[in-house]
A = this chain, B = another copy of it.
Amino acid sequence: MKADERKKLILEHAKRLFSRKGYYDTQISDIVNEAKIARGTVYQYFKNKDDIFITLIKNFYQDWEANISIEMHKIDMSKINPVDYMSFRVKNTLQLLASDPDLCNIVLRMGIGLSGELETSIKRFEKKIHNLIVNDLKLGIRNHHVRRDLNIDMTSHLITGALLRTALAFFGNRRNRKDGNDIEKMTREIIAIFAPAIFIKK
């Protein structure tokens, strides 16, 4: 087996276990038993248990940022209207989170309870999504689509919280999995809630 594949194998089993049992209740033994590899093999690919976790999160960031930049190229910013733009953003985020329930669980639920670098790595994601929304709102204000008097920081927290919790509630476990249709519908409902208060009617 190639190095990349094996690293991926370990990450996949670790991800599933972290998602189901949490970081601290997942032992290296669990991972190697599930992956059917030797204990020492893990340490050929990762410095330690922390490193597995952090790698998992880092990969998620990269996917997320790649996804954003890819998706952003698909739309014509000069023609799209603000509501459609927000819908687009919300849908992309939901799609990404829906595509990996375990990672969704890990990223959205583990915060404190993790020490040092682990916590930092998670918080970075939350900060980034917040900033993304802040920037979108600022842009909207400059273009006279978004209400001037909006408290941008708080609104961004509200949207972040709403979005992530919905994702967690609906995608966080494998049983109530959602398909593309559901995500379309969810997006519409989310927009229906936030749009009236955010955008200036024309």
Contact = CB atoms under 8 A, between A and B. Distances in A.
Contacts of A193: 155, 158, 194, 197-198
A186 B154 contact: yes
A157 interface: yes
A19 B111 CA distance: 11
A198 B190 CA distance: 12
Interface in A138-175: 151, 154-155, 157-166, 169-170
B113 A22 contact: yes
How many A residues are at the interface, by size bracket?
A: 35 or more
Contacts of A163: 161
Interface stretch (A4-12, A58-66, A69-77, A102-110): A102-110
A84 interface: no
Interface of A: 19, 21-25, 105-106, 108-115, 119, 151, 154-155, 157-166, 169-170, 186, 189-190, 192-198
7 contacts: A24-B113, A109-B112, A109-B113, A113-B114, A157-B170, A161-B164, A196-B197
Given A22-B119, A159-B162, A193-B197, 19 more contacts: A22-B115, A23-B113, A24-B115, A108-B111, A113-B113, A154-B186, A155-B193, A158-B166, A158-B193, A160-B165, A161-B162, A161-B163, A161-B164, A161-B166, A162-B162, A164-B165, A165-B165, A193-B198, A195-B197
